[in-house]
Structure 1
């Protein structure tokens, strides 16, 4: 029974310590009814304790441990906790023996509840009292962080001020002074600000201006260079891209695109100019012209001018005369700097019945043959559907030529040639005297179509060999560009100025020769008969208006 005695002693200590309030001399009411009696004789009820005048610390008297409960009297009395009901009822017989665990738990819970009430009352009273100014506590780690942040801010401001002073210094380089010749180079504060702004603008222009001052190389000599340059957009003009869950990305070519590129490459330097990055657009361009025979160059996003959140295709960077340049696009932002050089089309949405691109061929062919200023010609078609408007004007000029020929023929009694007016309007000699002469644009289209078919046959015959040789040349070029570390260490880098052997593929030579043959044939047969023939001496004055 030793453990029972130990449990009784510990329980009484816990009850006494929990029941004793802070700074109080009188125990709570739940613990005032304690009586000491022996195990054999009933003891009278313990009267309530008188209030203690002085507040002294209450010392706990340890209870002696008994080894057994044999019913005999012990040397020390045993405490018993009575409930409020037992203390109120004096006539009820007292409980003999050790207090039950339920009684001790009730007393402990009551003491805790009174203690919580006392603490809550103290807290409420403390909350009602006005508080004074409270000083926030800042740890040493936070103070160090604040100091570091202040030092970083001061350092940044100092560096910013220093950079501003350095960028606003006078121009000490002749090249820089020539580049900003409109900015004064004195010590005036206003001049200091102008120099700072000019240098800052020059830094940002690296990301906003085209990558090169001249986007296209220098033109070739006269027999080899096309007189006109035609810029073509890629997305929604030549191709249309779509995506869905079933097939993923799909790219469709516009109807008549192959004929458009092949036919007009006889008259124009065809350049693809897109606002897409090179990594995305270059594979598409290679698919459009696998033989590298139609498209002369391809320009991508880095060649565009970035301004106000839009990509502008500034034609002044092309290294070509603007009176010989035409751009075809559907985005107004692209031609915003040179709208007088643009043919505006609607975006192509993938319609397989579209004929808009092919309808532009007669107009573009006419401009290239006549050698007019592109800006002046496009101004006459401003706000109109170019293919329809041009064909109406061409048909009117053709009917006028035929009417003049018939009038001259009637005046001569049904016998006569085309006459001066027929030649002036672009007519040619007829093989049959009773037939009107051909209109000069009809004859030009026959010759142009013949040249296109001949070159197409050449590509069909030698296309596979051209592609194979092109791939071999690219692989050889990659091998020549690759230099291992061992070769660099033991053989060294190539000496500067050492001539490099560059070989041109036979397919490129053959294609160039075939294309030059077409051009020479064109100049020998068409230009000579139109321009240098006395009969058609005034043909350059003919305009379709």
Structure 2
């Protein structure tokens, strides 16, 4: 039997050994002789034909004949050896002989020489397979097999050579990185020069580490360009004396306060103008207030929108995203850089995070999401006009009072309606002083005449 056929027949060496032990001739079962004949005992793989009836006088018996001894097998297979003929039964007592035939089990066929040869070849193949497996495992171990001195020396030399190459590569990489960093700093950290090629001195001139300081300062400037506002003073100085400088400054967010961005398949991306926006700008515009748009939108997007709804230039200044402070992923408005007195600055926005640096100056109003039936700007304009007429020196207490409500403009309207109702009730009550003036009776003996 070939090795490939053996591997297809036996899935593992353990199964092959079990197979040999079960079907070898030395195996004996504890339960007695097997009832099924061993197929390896007969080289012809004898099978039994159907039961053949035998009639012995008054007793009817039956036996099983091998399939190669039937009449059909003898007729059509002449090359098959003739099977031994069944001896005639000499029955002294037909009844007793029939019982012996029926009760006795068929004898187990003895193993033939061909089966033993096949098992021996199977054992030899298994031994060859085991030896080949042991050789492959020993060869796969490689480094663990140090029985050969020459092989061990070669392995050790290879290991030392790899360790040396790794160390050299690490030194080259580290040295190249240091040299590259120093070259980068000396090239990009060199001093500025004027148009004539003369060196321009700066705060780092004269120091041996000046290139490194200049590189570090460049990184700081880049960070400040991204995080900090674009300039330290966002608004110019107040107007000089001949001109009228408004007393109060209103800083207001553009998005979702005055306009709302919208996108549709029909119109694309556009901004909706909030209802009563023109009335609101007429009330708070110059010269009543100094209006400043301070938005987290970019100048490329927001500047044309502001110019479209304010053709009268009632808004004095416009500040956009580059003037905000970037903190924790949010654009924050820093009112301390406006160059104005914070006691007279009113900041209007819907997002509390945008005014977290100056919460006392913030008047938080609800976010407008495009509802065209909204009239909150009318109430907000009346609230700001009341603050202007009050002529308060510090508007922060009033802003903190109204900021405790969800909608300050609605709360102001409710209070205004309440005060107007109180005034109407006072007008409708009778005045006692007028009744006294209308009295025309005698007073101390004289008659008092009063014209009705």
Counterpart of 1:211 in structure 2 is 230
Aligned length: 270
Counterpart of 1:284 in structure 2 is 305
Contact in 2 for aligned 1:233/1:273 (Cα 8 Å): yes
C-alpha displacement of 1:290: 2.9
C-alpha displacement of 1:241: 1.4
Give matches, 1:120-269, under 5 Å. Answer: 126-129=139-142, 130=144, 132-133=155-156, 134-135=158-159, 149-155=173-179, 204-221=223-240, 224-266=244-286, 267-269=288-290
Contact in 1 for aligned 2:364/2:403 (Cα 8 Å): no
C-alpha displacement of 1:367: 0.3
CA distance in 1, matches of 2:169, 2:271: 56
SS at match of 2:159: coil
Bigger Rg, structure 1 or 2: 2
CA distance in 2, matches of 1:402, 1:410: 18
Give matches, 1:69-468, under 5 Å. Answer: 126-129=139-142, 130=144, 132-133=155-156, 134-135=158-159, 149-155=173-179, 204-221=223-240, 224-266=244-286, 267-291=288-312, 293-372=313-392, 373-384=394-405, 385-402=407-424, 410-413=432-435
TM-score (ref. length: structure 1): 0.42
Residues 453-510 of structure 1: CA deviation (Å, up to 9, x unaligned): xxxxxxxxxxxxxxxxxxxxxxxxxxxxxxxxxxxxxxxxxxxxxxxxxxxxxxxxxx
Contact in 1 for aligned 2:363/2:400 (Cα 8 Å): no
C-alpha displacement of 1:336: 0.4
C-alpha displacement of 1:360: 0.7
Change (3 A) 1:307 1:145: same
CA RMSD, aligned part only?
4.4
Q: Which runs of 5+ in 2 are unaligned?
A: 1-131, 146-154, 187-201, 204-215, 439-452
C-alpha displacement of 1:313: 0.5
C-alpha displacement of 1:153: 2.6
C-alpha displacement of 1:205: 3.3
TM-score (ref. length: structure 2): 0.50
Change (3 A) 1:302 1:405: same
CA distance in 1, matches of 2:229, 2:259: 24
Residues 423-479 of structure 1: CA deviation (Å, up to 9, x unaligned): xxxxxxxxxxxxxxxxxxxxxxxxxxxxxxxxxxxxxxxxxxxxxxxxxxxxxxxxx
Q: Which runs of 5+ in 1 are unaligned?
A: 1-118, 163-174, 177-196, 417-545
SS at match of 1:327: strand
SS at match of 1:390: helix
SS at match of 1:220: coil
C-alpha displacement of 1:145: 7.3
CA distance in 1, matches of 2:268, 2:166: 54
